[in-house]
Chains A and B, each alone.
Chain A
Amino acid sequence: MNLSIVINVCYIIASVLFITGLKRLSSPTTARGANLLSAIGMLLAIVGTLLSKGLEFQWIIAGLLIGSAIGVFVALKVAMTAMPQMVALLNGSGGLASLLVGWSTYHYHPDATVLTTISTYLAVLIGGVTFTGSVMAWAKLEEKVSGRPILFKGQKIVNSILLLVLLVAGIVYCMDPAHNYPVFLLIVVLSLVLGVMVVIPIGGADMPVVISLLNSYSGMAGAATGFVIINSMLIVAGSLVGASGIILTQIMCKAMNRSLANVLFSGFGSAVSQKGGTAVKGEVKPIKPEDAYLILEAARSVVFVPGYGLAVAQAQHVLRELGELLEKNGTEVRYAIHPVAGRMPGHMNILLAEANVSYDQLMEMDSINPTMETVDVCVVIGANDVVNPAARHDKSSPIYGMPIINADKAKTVFVLKRSMATGFAGIENELFYYDNTRMLFGDAKQTLQALVAEFKSGH
């Protein structure tokens, strides 16, 4: 009895630490300490649980050791550019854990109350979808499978049948869990299949939305598990994460001017939508790094607009070097970050922070756009759709209405690009044909290195 009071006090303190941790994450100066607070909360929750009466420790110790070793290894090894994949995988392992806990509980008490059984069903369903969905997201980001949406005939029908079977199986299972073990196994398998099915039609550029949504699911799976084993700690922490993931998902969707349903079901960026948008006419004007240097050298204000291409080319360090050289030359240097640039919310901020770019140089879209007309040179690096002016005026364009960074309003625009291929959304970008745009073709890293070399030899 006394022990359970101690455990619950641990859980209460842990909840407070989680809440404080999340709250203090809202400023770069307090964020690191906030994460530590939250980690202490987690430790407390684990220690509290270990006080439970009658625990057998040998397997617990083994599991904790193996999991910690893998966790430490992957966390220290992963490159900053691969962070979206990493977060996806971590999400997936949380989801899988919830599924397994649900399964284990059911196996131990097959004749639990109907309320417990419903919770088990939800934990397994959400956990399973989170697991395979995250693995698919990882595979897409890692380019193990094509980043483009995978669509096939009758996809909606297949998915509808899948959902229907899951629903019916759930009802059958919840009515009489003790005699329906095969139905339970069917639910496990179909949940895993569903996770794959919901992520394959989503294009690479929409991954920020998917990852934050899966993050929300992993929290919800945890909360459902909390209902299964009647544990308030799981419910509080799980629903905090569930809610935060949903909010983040909404922010991402708003940044793309699309509804969540549109992201999830439209197969945006597939071959079909390429017909959208007006064909662009005109000529692109390439420029050599030597000439680009002269323009940059004379500029008073430069804004860099990074996109996923920066991450692919691993060019963040040389970009910072160029930025510093420009600053030494008396130029004002800023970085404009679109909310959905990259493959994960805040992806670009992380990359630039890794390269030692000060965060007060990182500007959000809304604060940079009003000043864009006073900018001498805007350098677009590996970004495409987030600077496409068609989003402002071309009603036939698939991205019409999406808020963009107004790179075209700058006096001169440099676009660093590998080739004239379209962006992930598969849409032509008229910015490349504008009179004030110059194209720097080639690998972004090499181009930036050439510019840095010009600066160094010019002094």
Chain B
Amino acid sequence: METHLDLTTLLDLIFLFVIAIFLGVELISKVPSILHTPLMSGSNAISGITIVGALLSTGLTPGSAFCTMLGVFALIFATINVVGGYLVTDRMLGMFRTKTTSGTAAKEVKSAAGGSK
């Protein structure tokens, strides 16, 4: 794994970091409170992005069984975070429906919408 962080690279990364923080703030401040839980669980799933690091420390640490082992555990937990996070969010969001689509009508409308996609 590449891990030689020098000052120039660091500044590039900090640049990204700062921009992404501002973007995150802008994106979220407009979400209505009805969606706070799915938002939290959805953004929680995104924080599973550490899976990328886990993949690299599992697959790119030849010669060190201990590092690979740490990597595998990291990978398992990150995968739980990603898969569990997205599925749970989907389950929650699937429950939101308006009056016009509530009850039995909801299922028809939903399957129709799913079919048209």
Contacts and interface: CB of A to CB of B under 8 A. Distances in A.
The yes or no verdict on A and B being binding partners is yes
Interface of A: 18-19, 21-23, 25-28, 31-32, 34-36, 38-39, 42, 45-46, 49-50, 52, 54-57, 59-60, 62-64, 66-68, 70-72, 74-76, 78, 80, 83, 86-87, 90-91, 93-94, 96-98, 100-101, 103-105, 107-109, 112-113, 115-116, 119, 211-212, 215, 218-219, 221-223, 225-248, 251, 337, 339, 344-347, 349-350, 353-354, 356, 358-362, 364
A13 B21 CA distance: 18
Contacts of A226: 13, 53
B13 A91 contact: no
Contacts of A362: 34
B67 A108 contact: yes
Contact of A248 (B36, B83, B88): B36
- Nearest 7 A-B pairs (CB), nearest first? A67-B79, A243-B24, A71-B83, A63-B75, A346-B36, A75-B87, A345-B36
A455 B96 CA distance: 27
12 contacts: A21-B42, A56-B58, A68-B83, A93-B78, A232-B16, A241-B44, A242-B24, A244-B24, A247-B24, A346-B38, A354-B95, A356-B103
A233 B49 contact: yes
Nearest to B61: A108
Contacts of B80: 67, 70-71, 74, 90, 93
Nearest to B103: A356
Interface in B25-72: 25, 27-62, 64, 66-68, 70-72
B55 A50 contact: yes
A353 B94 CA distance: 9
Nearest to B39: A25
Given A63-B54, A90-B41, A100 B87 contact: no
Nearest to A365: B33
Contacts of B92: 80, 83, 350, 353
Contacts, number: 416
Contact of A240 (B23, B51, B70, B99): B23
Contacts of A27: 32, 35
A42 B3 contact: no
Given A71-B80, A75-B83, A100-B74, A233 B46 contact: no
Interface string B1-20: 11111110110010011001
A222 B49 CA distance: 7
B28 A248 contact: yes
Contacts of B96: 28, 31-32, 353, 359
Given A63-B58, A247-B25, A358-B97, 14 more contacts: A22-B28, A42-B45, A52-B55, A63-B76, A83-B37, A94-B77, A97-B50, A108-B64, A113-B6, A222-B49, A245-B40, A349-B36, A353-B92, A359-B98
Given A28-B34, A101-B53, A104-B61, A35 B42 contact: yes
A52 B75 CA distance: 16
Interface residues of B, number: 91
Contacts of A86: 41, 84, 88
A332 B66 CA distance: 64
Contact of B13 (A38, A68, A227): A227
A345 B17 CA distance: 26
A358 B73 CA distance: 42
Given A235-B13, A240-B27, A87 B54 contact: no
Contacts of A227: 5, 10, 13
A346 B34 contact: yes
A90 B44 contact: yes
A236 B21 CA distance: 8
Nearest to A130: B47
A215 B17 contact: no
A244 B24 CA distance: 5
Contacts of A337: 33-34
B78 A94 contact: yes
Contact of B55 (A21, A49, A112): A49
